[in-house]
Amino acid sequence: MSVLVGKKAPVFNSKAVVNGGEIVENFSLEQFVGKKYVVLFFYPADFTFVCPTELIAFQDKATEFQARNTIVVGASTDSEFSHWKWLQTPQNQGGIKGVTYPLVVDQSLNISKDYDVLIGSNEYNEVGDVVLVGEPKAYRGLFLIDKQGVVRHQLVNDLPLGRNVDEVLRLIDALQFTEEFGEVCPANWKKGEKSLKATQEGISSYLSEKA
């Protein structure tokens, strides 16, 4: 798997559904560079089982992401029409009505390939043609991208394993803390807790206080 941490997030321009029902032709993360942090997450498919729990969980924390100057963006290999229909379907009927952050369309599979979360892969068949082997869907990949467009965190779960939205918020807090104060965040750090200086004296002091 590709490690994208420390590198510029792959650029894409694609259709998306925004604001819970508006289809746009040219959605790109480039519009947020220099302005906002981005949480880009991939999910396998619309109208499935674990996926709506994740998408709704991200929406439930919308004000907390906004408070951290962070935009959430979902992406799957479904069409814009599938996204739109799912967004119009009530939650008690398996839909995600009420979700307002962008849902990106990746029917070409190119975005999933660039972020290396595609389940299927291209291989040559017996006559030399390129064919997709495996499902044309994405694993549950998540990428935290800073305001310079650089990936600072990535996580990829297998299909049955839902993600923890509170952990995503904690990582944003940690990233923003280190950017502002220059100190580093130890294991299980949460906003408001003690950080440490990236020196031998700093770690010794921190561990002594924890003992």
SS3 110: helix
Q: At how many degrees (to 10) do helices 50-60 and 165-181 cross? A: 40
Burial class (CB in 10 A: 0-12, 13-18, 19+), 208: exposed
How does pLDDT run across 85-114, given as a tens digit for each residue?
999 999 999 999 999 999 999 999 999 999
Q: Which domains does the chain have, with CATH numbers?
A: 14-162 (3.40.30.10), 164-211 (no CATH)
- d(C-alpha 74, C-alpha 101), whole Å: 8
Residue 51 annotated among the catalytic residues of the structure: yes
Q: Classify 10 as helix, strand or coil.
A: coil
Tell me the per-residue pLDDT of 147-168, one tens digit each, with 9 for 90 and over. Answer: 999 999 999 999 999 999 999 9
Which of these is catalytic: 33, 39, 51, 118? Answer: 51
Diameter of the chain measured on Cα atoms: 66
Q: What is the pLDDT averaged over residues 14-27?
A: 98
Tell me the pTM.
0.93
Residue-averaged pLDDT of the chain: 94
8 Å CB contact between 77 and 109 = yes
Where does the pLDDT of residue 206 fall: very low under 50, low under 70, confident under 90, or very high at 90 and above?
Answer: confident
Q: Is the pLDDT of residue 1 over 70?
A: no
Q: What is the DSSP letter of 11?
A: P
